[in-house]
Structure 1
Amino acid sequence: MSSTTQKHRNFVAEPMGEKPVTDLAGIADVLGKRLVSHGFDRAYIVLGQFLVLKKDKELFVGWLQDLIHCNVMQASNCWQCLNDWCSEFL
């Protein structure tokens, strides 16, 4: 794992359960509200899209940027968070 935020470490440290999307690294309140408005109200739903895109960083980052208009760093942080979570739990 590269240098990560406390938010990232907290997310990866435990099972996903019903965590809100704002628990994902790179996703704060504004981006979280945008995800919710598109039907992605829980982190596990974003994980589903991550898996549909075969964990491909380029595809996931592009999808997230197109959907919620985040920047590359925010989308990459979210990808890394989900990727590290999958390495730990799947």
Structure 2
Amino acid sequence: MSSTSKKHASFVSEPMRRKPVTELPGIGKTAASHLQTRGYEESRDILGQYLVVKGDEQRFRDFVMSNAGANSKSTGDCYRAMKEWTDNFL
């Protein structure tokens, strides 16, 4: 089992509320800026896209890559956090 970052552990351990996209694992300042210019201000906006693709890993990662300009590692980090969060809270 791979280790998780503090950012991941924090994100998946509490309700989403109105967290900014910068709190998503795999999303740094540059990726967040790209998302924000496309109207994705909060983590719950990204959760909506995760639910639209029904948790499909490749489709979600493609969404993050195309809208945030994130690389493969970052999209994987974001997907794993979103999956774990939904497993915990939905």
Q: TM-score band, normalised by the shorter chain?
A: over 0.9
Write out per-residue CA displacement over residues 9-41 of structure 1, whole angstroms, 9 at most, x where no aligned residue. 000110000000000000011111110000000
Q: Does 1:68 align with 2:63?
A: no
What does residue 52 of structure 1 align with?
A: 52
Equivalent residue pairs, number: 90
Find the counterpart in structure 1 of residue 32 from structure 2.
Answer: 32
Mapped pair 1:18 → 2:18:
yes
**Structure 1 segments of 4+ aligned residues over 2 angstroms from their partners:** none
Q: Equivalent pairs: percent with the same residue?
A: 37
Aligned to 1:81: 81
Tell me the TM-score normalized by structure 2: 0.95
Structure 2 gaps, min length 5: none
- Scaled by the length of structure 1, the TM-score of the pair is 0.95
